[in-house]
Amino acid sequence: MTAPSAPERAATRPQAPDRAPATGTPPRQNRRSIRSWAARQYWPAFWYLLPAAVFYVLFVLRPLGQTAWISLFRWDGITEGRWVGLGNYRALLSDTRIPAAIGHSLEFVVFYALLPVALGLLLAALMSRIRVHGLSFFRAVLFLPQILATVVVAVSWRWIYDIEGPLNAVLRAVGLGSLARAWLGDYHTALPSVGLVGTWVMYGLCMVLFLAGTQKIPTERYESARIDGCGPIREFFAVTLPALRGEISIALVLTITYALRNFDLVWNTTTGGPGTSTTVPSVFVYQGAFLTHEVGGAAAISVCLTAVVLVVTAVVMRLVRGKEG
């Protein structure tokens, strides 16, 4: 029996399966199947997000674009507007009232953001350690200012700060009648008085955020800290505070944004007075749009205020992410 020739041996040799190119890219059919699988997995999520996206475009982005367009006109809201380009923005740069209003907003940041965050951290730390019957009721009471209508809050505190209101009555009762005054009518006390109302409103939100954050901290961390001899204060700074970095960033973004765009609380307590001691940029927006009928200038202030809020939010998020990294 003769041995098979070379061509016959090559024909009978088992063929190696097709391999992917040496470049490491998957075959075209595999890529197509992966894309179809991803589409099947993620398209339902897109359909769920679509209503919210449409709502956001129609009621947030579209009005913002219209406001930016109106800011390029000199318009009273009734007659035909006149194109001025960046004239309204140049007028803002020369308006001496704007820097003072921005300064007031920055002061409100202390009352609306920094103090509520500090109080929220303190209350969250205490409530996470104390186990008292009825603690949920106290949490609800402390959060109550956050859910009240701002007009109700403003009217109530305007009565409290009145010259014949409860605050001055208490001061006279304890022998401090010399400190009694019209708190919202004094140039030196109007802004801090309104700011403390903002602190009272916003600390409940911060407290709830931080309480939710403390519940996700593993108990093993606290046990390890106590074994190492940490007291309550050191335990807070070593365990609780680092674990709440994400919640603190969210609280700062929400409270700083509210402080910069604050209007309703200021308008319903002092209307920006006495004089201009509590005037903020949003007050100028309202006055320009509805009182002096300078709609184009009011729109320009709104665009600038929106830009400031976005920049501050981006800076806060950047700082927090930098610390996390």
Q: How far apart are the first and last CA of the chain?
A: 77
Measured CA distances, 146 to 150, 161, 205, 215 (Å): 9, 20, 6, 21
Are 301 and 91 a contacting pair, CB within 8 Å? no
> Is pLDDT of 58 > 90?
yes
SS3 19: coil
Greater confidence (258 vs 222) lies with: 258
Provide the percentage of residues in the chain whose pLDDT is more than 70: 85
Confidence of residue 29 (pLDDT cuts 50, 70, 90): low
CA distance 305 to 285: 10
- For residue 158, what pLDDT is reported? 94
85: phi > 0 → left, psi -120 to 50 → alpha, else beta; which? left
- Residue 276 burial by CB count (10 A; 0-12/13-18/19+): exposed, middle or buried? middle
Residue 153 belongs to what H/E stretch?
Answer: helix 150-160
Question: Is pLDDT above 60 for 15?
Answer: no
Q: Which contacts qualify for 58-65: CB closer than 8 Å, 24 or more apart?
A: 64/306
Average pLDDT, the chain: 85
- Summarize the confidence of residues 80-91 as an average pLDDT: 92
Please list, in sequence order, all residues whose beta carbon lies within 8 angstroms of the beta carbon of residue 246, skipping any fewer than 6 positions away. 213, 320
pLDDT of residue 1: 45
d(CA 82, CA 64): 20
**Which residues, listed in sequence order, are joined to residue 74 by a DSSP beta bridge?**
82
**C-alpha–C-alpha distance, residues 6 and 108, integer Å:** 92
Structure token pair of residue 108:
């409100």
Residue-level pLDDT at 42: 75
pLDDT-derived band at 120 (thresholds 50, 70, 90) equals very high
Structure tokens at 137: 């009721």
Structural Rg of the chain based on CA atoms: 31
Give the SS3 label for residue 219.
helix
Amino acid 28: pLDDT: 59
The C-alpha atoms of residue 260 and residue 270 are separated, in whole angstroms, by 17
With cut-offs at 50, 70 and 90, classify the pLDDT of residue 286: very high
Is the pLDDT at 268 greater than 60, yes or no? yes
Residue type, position 49, single letter: L
Instruction: Centre a 10 Å sphere on the Cβ of residue 169 and count the other Cβ atoms it contains.
Output: 13
**pLDDT at res. 136:** 77
**Domains of the chain, residue spans:** 83-324
Say what the pLDDT of residue 266 is: 94
Check whether 118 has a pLDDT greater than 70.
yes
The CATH topology of domain 83-324 is MetI-like fold (1.10.3720)
Q: What is the mean pLDDT of residues 122-136?
A: 77
Counting beta carbons within 10 angstroms of the beta carbon of residue 67, is it exposed (0 to 12), middle (13 to 18) or buried (19 or more)?
A: middle
- Give the distance from CA 186 to its chain's centroid: 31
pLDDT score for 59: 93
Taking 60 as the threshold, does the pLDDT of residue 193 lie above it?
Answer: yes
Q: What's this model's pTM, rounded to 2 decimal places?
A: 0.80
Residue 16 or residue 236, greater confidence = 236
Quickly list DSSP for 254-268: HHHHHHHT--HHHHH
Cβ–Cβ under 8 Å, residues 298 and 95 = no
Sign of the torsion angle spanned by Cα atoms 53, 57, 58, 63: positive
- Sequence-distant (6+) residues with CB within 8 A of 270 are 184, 190, 194, 277, 278
Whether the pLDDT of residue 315 is over 70: the answer is: yes
* Alpha-carbon 210 to chain mean position: 15
* Mean pLDDT, rounded, for 273-292: 92
Nearest CA-CA partner of 128 in 42, 222, 55, 195: 222
34 neighbors 26 (Cβ within 8 angstroms):
yes
Pick the closest to residue 168 from 159, 156, 177 (CA basis): 177
Give counts: helices (H), strands (E), the chain: 17, 2
Residue 12 has pLDDT above 60, yes or no: no
